[in-house]
């Protein structure tokens, strides 16, 4: 029985694993894909940490910026902890060998790390590695996991958590390679499975697999979710492919213009403000573009080479010479698994959650750019360390096989299930539905319509099933399970949005356009009743 | 348009017909799976050329599905030298083990003064997304499955060139066996890298590093003096440096 089982191999999972290993405990990382393919690789802009390398900065300013962006509904203790951990997290990454961008200031160690200003920040605070910050952090973490001999279980799709008397005992997985359902016993579990942005299929920067599998497993195990209504829309996704153009494009001085050539918003406002301003232009049937031409070829190729290449490939335009057509797209889910201040899942002892899948009450109604990489590293280590402590005193008797047998039956059942309805077009329809009715601008009547449509989808789910009946490497089955998780999560997103009769941060409701602190300065926490 | 995809179960190409519109290969694969054939198996992730999941071979050349515009008549196959798990999905574990064998990480940190120039020096090498395209394009694997291969050597080089690495010697020792000297410098890896990395150059740099550390320069052994033309066929000018 391993001390700590980590589910998910993104930045949060790998940081947690390294922390477990540092403390001498045993650790296994299980994930549905292979390491380094995680969403973390897509984070570009940077990682916040108060180093003051470029200009004066203070942890109190980072805390204040985070709370302001969260619109008050965050846990100030958690925010304080994360911001204070920033410089330590960067120092840790520096020692692991992350190739950060550098200044020419003659300083050693973290003193030479370059920092830039992202939207909503009061100082140049985001440490970066060109526009591949997440990628380079993720790969360096992976190199260090190999160095430490950490065991990876690839192709393991999380099915359910195994609990006994409210305490975690491990988890069950579909081993995609063999098609078998397996149980991994563990004294502690860290869920680091990422957010649920892929619910907005076709309107999200997220990978297809960002379906909130860990969040759904917690709901099924009796845990709760919070802040589900807060979905951050990135202002600048490419119009046709929804691929992200980094905030750095605006941070470095890019303009937003409409089809009349007018600038209509302060480009460095928080993401929700910019996204709504763009959405309003689109509603008026105007097109919106990002203009980076004035930055010049040299600066663009140095600072945003990735963006330039993606525009050429997916939009067939050259940003050095032409305007980049954009639309706001779902980018980050602030809410998720409800955890306490030790990141332990409320209701399941010994089970921790960290990163985008968790609702650690730091992002509140809107995440500050550069705080997600900080969260996965700083809190990833915190979760790993807390999970190790729990493992030290946990009982070592493994769970019985009740859950395992149940899940074996379930998977076997899917193979016999009717499949008269193809779920792939429904997955797409869910994306369109959520973008238009549970998106940047919300309205109670439309939320209700969305909920009825989702319930209809849930009813039809019994007739969806799979066409591919191969046992091993059945990606059709995996995608069906992912979509099932999406369908379980969607009502929590809609219900939370429906309950919040106000506008706050990323949640904007037409009929209640302002904040209502008296009634809603709180978190909406939901559970699932089967 | 029609494209052909190598299916593992039948060990033959299957033809699929697509609408004549401009799209990436990944988009085409997703469409096929969603509307024509749910059994077609492939791996994909970010759609933005950064997660390294979707590399395949198109008409014999390694590409990322998300970065290749599909064309009429394209022949799609899984990566070379990787066990095929199903259709276009391959087992990356043996290839990734080369990172372990090369000990491609920072062995021991030392604090150093770093500048923008230092950052630029190995910036390209750290753009690697581990898509395995270079591994698939490397002919050495046809004869030596234990070869460390391009991406592991590039990564080893990146750490060896890091001023923060105080144990360069450990890396140097590891890259000599089934490593830098086994490379034929054919440039196959460099030609297919979707991130513009040049593993051939990195291997050349590692070779001189190895020699600087006092180890034997096995370039000549590799060239096989006395076997005429062997060198030039592998991209060497056997009279060049000599």
Contact status, residue A62 vs residue A52, Cβ threshold 8 Å: no
- To the nearest whole Å, the CA of A78 is away from the closest chain B CA by 30
3-state SS assignment for residue A313: helix
* CATH no. of B2-90: 3.10.20.30
From the list A125, A271, A427, A504, the catalytic residue is A271
What pLDDT score was predicted for residue A307?
84
Q: How far apart are CA A270 and CA A276, in angstroms?
A: 10
The crossing angle, in degrees rounded to 10, of helices B150-160 and B199-212 is: 50
Active-site residue, A271 included: yes
Contact status, residue A529 vs residue A228, Cβ threshold 8 Å: no
- To the nearest whole Å, the CA of B232 is away from the closest chain A CA by 36
Q: How far apart are CA A270 and CA A426, in angstroms?
A: 33
Domains and CATH numbers, chain A: 2-153+332-393 (3.50.50.60), 231-331 (3.90.700.10)
Scanning the structure block, which residue is given the tokens 């979509």?
A483
Q: What are phi and psi of A428, to 5 degrees?
A: -65, -40
Scanning the structure block, which residue is given the tokens 């978190």?
A523
- Name which of A220, A165, A487 is nearest A337 in CA terms: A220
3-state SS assignment for residue A160: strand
pLDDT classification of B221: cutoffs 50, 70, 90: low
* A33 close contact with B: CB closer than 8 A: yes
Burial class from Cβ neighbours inside 10 Å (0-12, 13-18, 19+) for residue B17 reads exposed
Q: What are phi and psi of B190, to 5 degrees?
A: -60, -40
- pLDDT beyond 90 at B13: yes
* A449 close contact with B: CB closer than 8 A: no
Q: What angle do CA A236, A431, A416 make, to 5 degrees?
A: 145
* B89 close contact with A: CB closer than 8 A: yes
Q: What is the 3-state secondary structure (H, E, C) of chain B?
A: CEEEEEECCCCEEEEEECCCCCCEHHHHHHHHHHHHCCCCCCCCCCCCCCCCCCEEEECCEEEEHHHCECCCCCEEECCCCCCEEECCEECCHHHHHHHHHCCCCCCCECCCECCHHHHHHCCCHHHCCCCCHHHHCCHHHHCCCCCCCHHHHHHHHHHHCCCCECCHHHHHHHCCCCCCCCCCCCCHHHHHCCCCCCHHHHHHHHHHHHHHCCCCCCHHHHHCCCCCCHHHHCCCCCCCCC
- To the nearest whole Å, the CA of A16 is away from the closest chain B CA by 19
- To the nearest whole Å, the CA of A186 is away from the closest chain B CA by 24
- Name which of A515, A490, A491 is nearest A501 in CA terms: A515
pLDDT classification of B222: cutoffs 50, 70, 90: low
Q: Write the CA distances from A413 to A232, A469, B201, integer angstroms.
A: 37, 12, 54
Beta-sheet pairing, A358-359 with A336-338: parallel
Q: Give contacts of A 87-146 with B, CB under 8 A.
A: 94-97, 99-104, 106-109, 112, 114, 129-130, 132, 135-136, 139, 143-144, 146
pLDDT classification of B242: cutoffs 50, 70, 90: very low
Q: Give contacts of A 385-424 with B, CB under 8 A.
A: 422, 424
Angular region, A461: left φ>0, alpha ψ -120 to 50, beta rest: alpha
3-state SS assignment for residue A78: helix
- Name which of A373, A524, A516, A526 is nearest A71 in CA terms: A516
When scoring B28, B52, B114 by the number of chain A Cβ atoms within 10 A, the one with the most, hence best to mutate, is B114
ipTM over 0.90: yes
What pLDDT score was predicted for residue B209?
96
Cβ-based contacts of A146 with chain B (< 8 Å): 99-100, 104-105
Please, which residues have CB within 8 angstroms of residue B83's CB and are 6 or more apart in sequence?
Answer: B90, B91, B94
Q: How far apart are CA A128 and CA A427, in angstroms?
A: 35
- pLDDT beyond 70 at B240: no
CA end-to-end span of chain B, whole Å? 53
Residue in chain B nearest A145 by alpha carbon: B105
* B7 close contact with A: CB closer than 8 A: no
**Chain A to chain B Cβ contacts (< 8 Å):** 153
- Please tell me which of the candidates A41, A99, A313 has its beta carbon nearest to residue B46: A41
Q: What is the 3-state secondary structure (H, E, C) of A349-406?
A: ECEEECHHHEECCCCCCCCCCCHHHHHHHHHHHHHHHHHHHHHHHCCCCCCCCHHHHH
Q: How many residues does chain A have?
A: 530
- Name which of A224, A391, A244 is nearest B50 in CA terms: A244
Please, which residues have CB within 8 angstroms of residue B143's CB and are 6 or more apart in sequence?
Answer: none
Domain with CATH 1.10.1060.10 in chain B: 93-233
- Name which of B64, B61, B52 is nearest B25 in CA terms: B64
Q: What is the mean pLDDT of residues B121-145?
A: 97
Inter-chain touch B53–A34, beta carbons under 8 Å:
yes
Q: Give contacts of B 208-237 with A, CB under 8 A.
A: none
pLDDT tens-digit profile of B185-210?
999 999 999 999 999 999 999 999 99
What pLDDT score was predicted for residue A310?
85
Inter-chain touch B96–A34, beta carbons under 8 Å:
yes
* A298 close contact with B: CB closer than 8 A: no
Burial class from Cβ neighbours inside 10 Å (0-12, 13-18, 19+) for residue A438 reads buried
Beta-sheet pairing, A324-333 with A288-291: antiparallel
When scoring B7, B50, B85, B193 by the number of chain A Cβ atoms within 10 A, the one with the most, hence best to mutate, is B50
Please, which residues have CB within 8 angstroms of residue B184's CB and are 6 or more apart in sequence?
Answer: B139, B140, B234, B235
* A269 close contact with B: CB closer than 8 A: no
Average pLDDT of adjacent 10-residue blocks, chain A of 530 residues:
98 98 98 95 93 98 96 96 98 98 96 92 95 95 98 98 97 98 98 98 94 98 97 92 85 91 90 89 92 92 83 88 95 97 97 98 94 98 98 92 98 95 96 95 97 97 95 98 98 98 96 97 94
Domain with CATH 3.10.20.30 in chain B: 2-90
In CATH terms, the fold of domain B93-233 is: Fumarate Reductase Iron-sulfur Protein; Chain B, domain 2 (1.10.1060)
Inter-chain touch A135–B129, beta carbons under 8 Å:
yes
Contact status, residue A74 vs residue A136, Cβ threshold 8 Å: no
Is residue A458 within a helix (H) or strand (E), and if so which, with residue range?
helix A444-460
When scoring A302, A313, A329, A469 by the number of chain B Cβ atoms within 10 A, the one with the most, hence best to mutate, is A313
Q: What angle do CA A361, A217, A12 make, to 5 degrees?
A: 50
Inter-chain touch B116–A103, beta carbons under 8 Å:
yes
Q: How far apart are CA A416 and CA A259, in angstroms?
A: 53
Q: How far apart are CA A227 and CA A338, in angstroms?
A: 9
Scanning the structure block, which residue is given the tokens 């892929």?
A198
- pLDDT beyond 60 at B225: no
* B118 close contact with A: CB closer than 8 A: yes
- Name which of B164, B165, B162, B147 is nearest B102 in CA terms: B147
Please list the residues that pair with A291 across neighbouring strands: A255
Q: How far apart are CA A151 and CA A139, in angstroms?
A: 16
Inter-chain touch B51–A207, beta carbons under 8 Å:
yes
Q: How far apart are CA A461 and CA A503, in angstroms?
A: 33
Contact status, residue A307 vs residue A243, Cβ threshold 8 Å: no
Q: Give contacts of B 139-178 with A, CB under 8 A.
A: 155, 158-159, 162, 164-165
Angular region, B130: left φ>0, alpha ψ -120 to 50, beta rest: left
């Amino acid at each position: 029985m391993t001390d700590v089982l980590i589910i998910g191999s993104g930045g949060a999972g790998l940081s947690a694993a390294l922390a477990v290993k540092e403390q001498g405990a045993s650790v296994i990382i299980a994930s549905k894909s292979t390491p380094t393919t995680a969403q973390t690789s897509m984070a570009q802009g940077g990682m916040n940490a108060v180093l003051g390398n470029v200009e004066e900065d203070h942890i109190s300013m980072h805390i204040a910026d985070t709370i302001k962006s969260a619109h008050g509904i965050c846990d100030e203790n958690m925010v304080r902890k994360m911001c204070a951990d920033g410089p330590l997290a960067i120092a840790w990454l520096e020692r692991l060998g992350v190739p950060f961008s550098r200044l020419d200031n003659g300083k050693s160690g973290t003193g030479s790390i370059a920092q830039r200003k992202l939207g909503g920040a009061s100082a140049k605070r985001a440490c970066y590695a060109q526009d591949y910050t997440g990628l380079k952090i993720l790969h360096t973490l992976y190199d260090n996991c190999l160095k430490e001999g950490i065991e990876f279980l690839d192709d393991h799709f999380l099915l359910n958590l195994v609990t006994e008397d409210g305490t975690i005992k491990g988890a069950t997985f579909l081993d995609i390679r063999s098609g078998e359902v397996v149980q991994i016993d563990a004294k502690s579990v860290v869920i680091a499975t990422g957010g649920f942005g892929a619910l907005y299929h076709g309107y999200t920067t997220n990978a297809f697999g960002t379906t909130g599998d860990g969040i759904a497993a917690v709901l099924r195990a009796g845990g709760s979710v919070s802040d589900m209504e807060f979905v951050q829309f990135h202002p600048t996704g490419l119009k046709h492919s929804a691929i992200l153009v980094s905030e750095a494009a605006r941070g470095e001085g890019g303009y937003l213009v409409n089809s009349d050539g007018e600038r209509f918003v302060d480009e460095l406002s928080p993401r929700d403000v910019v996204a709504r301003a763009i959405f309003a232009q689109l509603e008026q049937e105007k097109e919106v573009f990002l203009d980076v031409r004035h930055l010049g070829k040299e600066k663009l190729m140095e600072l945003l080479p990735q963006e330039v290449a993606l525009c050429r490939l997916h939009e067939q335009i050259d940003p050095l010479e032409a305007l980049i057509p954009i639309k706001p797209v779902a980018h980050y889910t602030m809410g998720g698994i409800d955890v306490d201040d030790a990141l332990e899942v409320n209701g399941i002892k010994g089970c921790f959650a960290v990163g985008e899948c968790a609702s650690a009450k730091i992002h509140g109604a809107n995440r500050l750019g550069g705080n997600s990489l900080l969260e996965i590293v700083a809190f990833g280590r915190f979760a790993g360390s807390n999970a190790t402590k729990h493992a030290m005193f946990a009982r070592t008797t493994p769970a019985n096989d009740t859950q395992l047998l149940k899940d074996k039956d379930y998977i076997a059942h899917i193979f016999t299930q009717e499949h008269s309805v193809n779920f792939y077009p429904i997955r797409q329809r869910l994306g369109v539905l959520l973008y238009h009715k549970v998106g940047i601008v919300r309205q109670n009547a439309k939320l209700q319509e969305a909920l009825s449509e989702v319930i209809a989808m849930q009813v039809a789910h019994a007739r969806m099933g799979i066409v591919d009946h191969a046992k091993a490497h059945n990606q059709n089955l995996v995608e069906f399970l992912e979509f099932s998780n999406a369908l379980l999560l969607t009502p929590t997103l809609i219900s939370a949005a429906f309950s919040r009769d106000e506008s706050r941060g990323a949640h904007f409701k037409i009929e209640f356009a302002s904040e209502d602190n008296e009634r809603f300065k709180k978190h909406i926490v939901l559970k699932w009743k089967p | 348009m029609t494209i052909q995809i190598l299916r593992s179960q039948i060990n033959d190409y299957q033809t699929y017909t697509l609408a004549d519109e401009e799209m990436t290969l990944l988009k085409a694969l997703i469409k096929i799976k969603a509307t024509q054939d749910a059994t077609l198996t492939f791996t994909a992730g970010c759609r933005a050329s950064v997660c390294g999941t979707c590399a395949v071979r198109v008409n014999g050349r390694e590409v990322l599905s998300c970065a290749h515009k599909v064309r009429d008549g394209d022949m799609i196959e899984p990566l070379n030298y990787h066990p095929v798990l199903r259709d276009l999905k391959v087992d990356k574990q043996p290839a990734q083990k080369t990172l372990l064998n090369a000990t491609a990480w920072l062995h021991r940190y030392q604090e150093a003064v770093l500048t923008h120039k230092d950052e630029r020096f190995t910036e390209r090498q750290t753009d690697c997304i581990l898509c395995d395209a270079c591994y698939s394009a490397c002919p050495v694997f046809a004869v030596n499955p234990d070869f460390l291969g391009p991406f592991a050597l590039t990564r080893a080089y990146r750490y060896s060139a890091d001023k923060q690495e105080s144990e360069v010697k450990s890396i140097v020792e590891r890259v000599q066996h089934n490593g830098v000297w086994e490379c034929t410098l054919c440039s196959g890896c460099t030609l297919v890298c979707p991130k513009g990395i040049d593993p051939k150059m990195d291997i050349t740099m590692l070779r001189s590093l190895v020699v600087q550390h006092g180890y034997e320069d096995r370039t000549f052994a590799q060239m096989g003096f006395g076997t005429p033309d062997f060198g030039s066929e592998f991209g060497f000018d056997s009279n060049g440096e000599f």
